[in-house]
Amino acid sequence: MSALLPALALAAAQMHDMGGMQMPGMQMPAPARPKAKPKAKPKARPVTPRATAPAAPTACPPEHAAMGHCTAAAPPDAMPDMPAMAPAPAAAAATGTDQPAGNAPPPAPPRDLAAARFYDPAAMAAADRRMRAEHGGMTFGQILFDLAEVQVRNGRDGLRWDGEGWYGGDIHRLVVKSEGDGSTDRIDRAEIQALYSRAIGPYVDLQGGLRQDLGAGARRTYATVGVEGLAPYWFQVEGALFLSDKGDLLGRVQAYYDQRVTQRLILQPRAELNVAAQDVPASGIAAGLSEAELGLRLRYEIRREVAPYVGLSWEHRRRPTTHDDAGGAALVFGVRGWF
């Protein structure tokens, strides 16, 4: 028994050495690793409850609050946790367009110009007058012949013109008008007017002055008052009353409209009516509607200042003694021009 124990110990030692050896062509399984012990979870600390701040209210415009989309925030005075707010400063006085509408006179324009510190007052006054003249105080002038034509009527050719010239500004003007008709060898009727014209509105001028009749008829002088302007829908209208030195009272109304067909082609319907309060045999004027003219003219603007035209004209006249009708239709050729 004592001899068997050493032999068993020797055999166990050899087997231990063979366990670390690897035989050719033979894989030995890896020794199993011991499982790691799980770590102990730390104990959770007790949480002390604390008060949370209330959520900030979402901004709510008054118009959204009125429709029920949100709730308007309470004013600062209704929040007990908010400190007292300082009173708002007093609003500044309204100026400029912030002022309420009313009839108060406008404030005086400022006089403290920076250039006045360096220039003589006389030079500043002269520059101010020039600036005002260039910005609305300038004077202009124009001469316009709206009608300058030849009328062909049943073999009786005639002439007719209607034009005016003016000089002045936007408010005050001197106006000279002239119109008449006749044949190729004489002037049957002609007149010239010298008028003072004053603007009484953006599109209307009040006119007054004298009219002098010329031609083959009686040469009467008339006091004249009338209006001229642009009516709604771009109708050019004119009306006047004439009182002669013999007590004859006459009246005239005329209107025309420029219908633009193209940029250069314009169709112009035109009407003129002359009335009288009594017969004027010396001038060939009958009481009532003494003369009427309707026309339709088509012009082509070669330039804005020069426009030849062709058209039709119908004229009606009543004689003072027999009250017979005269006139009729005519084919017209003419040129409209201004400079």
* Structure token digits, residue 311: 């058209």
Task: Among 50-54, 133-137, 228-232, 288-292, name the one with the lowest average pLDDT.
Answer: 50-54
Parallel, antiparallel or unpaired: strands 325-338 and 140-152: antiparallel
Q: What angle do CA 214, 284, 238 make, to 5 degrees?
A: 65
The reply to whether 27 falls in a domain is no
Q: What angle do CA 198, 202, 205 make, to 5 degrees?
A: 30
Global model pTM greater than 0.85: no
Parallel, antiparallel or unpaired: strands 172-183 and 158-168: antiparallel
* Short-list 213, 224, 223, CA closest to 180: 213
Average pLDDT over residues 56-62: 63
Calpha distance 257→233 (Å, rounded): 9
Provide φ and ψ at 129, rounded to 5°.
Answer: -65, -40
* Short-list 51, 58, 60, CA closest to 81: 51
Average pLDDT over residues 67-87: 59
The reply to whether 132 falls in a domain is no
Contacts of residue 242, Cβ cutoff 8 Å, sequence gap at least 6? 211, 222, 223, 224, 248, 249, 250, 251, 252
Q: Is the Cβ–Cβ distance between 204 and 227 less than 8 Å? A: yes
Q: Read off the pLDDT of residues 80-119 as tens digits, 9 standing for 90 and up.
A: 555 555 555 556 677 767 778 888 887 777 667 888 888 9
Query: Residue 276 — very low, low, confident or very high, per pLDDT cuts 50/70/90?
Result: very high
Q: Is the Cβ–Cβ distance between 192 and 172 less than 8 Å? A: no
How many distinct structural domains can be found in the chain? 1
The reply to whether 73 falls in a domain is no
Locus of tokens 């030692």: 13
Q: Is the Cβ–Cβ distance between 292 and 273 less than 8 Å? A: yes
The reply to whether 209 falls in a domain is yes
The reply to whether 200 falls in a domain is yes
User: Other C-beta atoms within 10 Å of 299: how many?
Assistant: 20
Sign of CA dihedral 135, 136, 141, 145: positive
User: Residue 283 is which amino acid?
Assistant: S
The reply to whether 107 falls in a domain is no
The reply to whether 147 falls in a domain is yes
Highest mean pLDDT among 10-24, 68-82, 143-157: 143-157
Domain containing 309: what range?
140-338
Query: How close are the terminal C-alpha atoms of the chain, in Å?
Result: 156
The reply to whether 144 falls in a domain is yes
Contacts of residue 226, Cβ cutoff 8 Å, sequence gap at least 6? 195, 206, 207, 208, 238, 239, 240, 241, 252
Query: Residue 159 belongs to a domain with what CATH number?
Result: 2.40.160.40
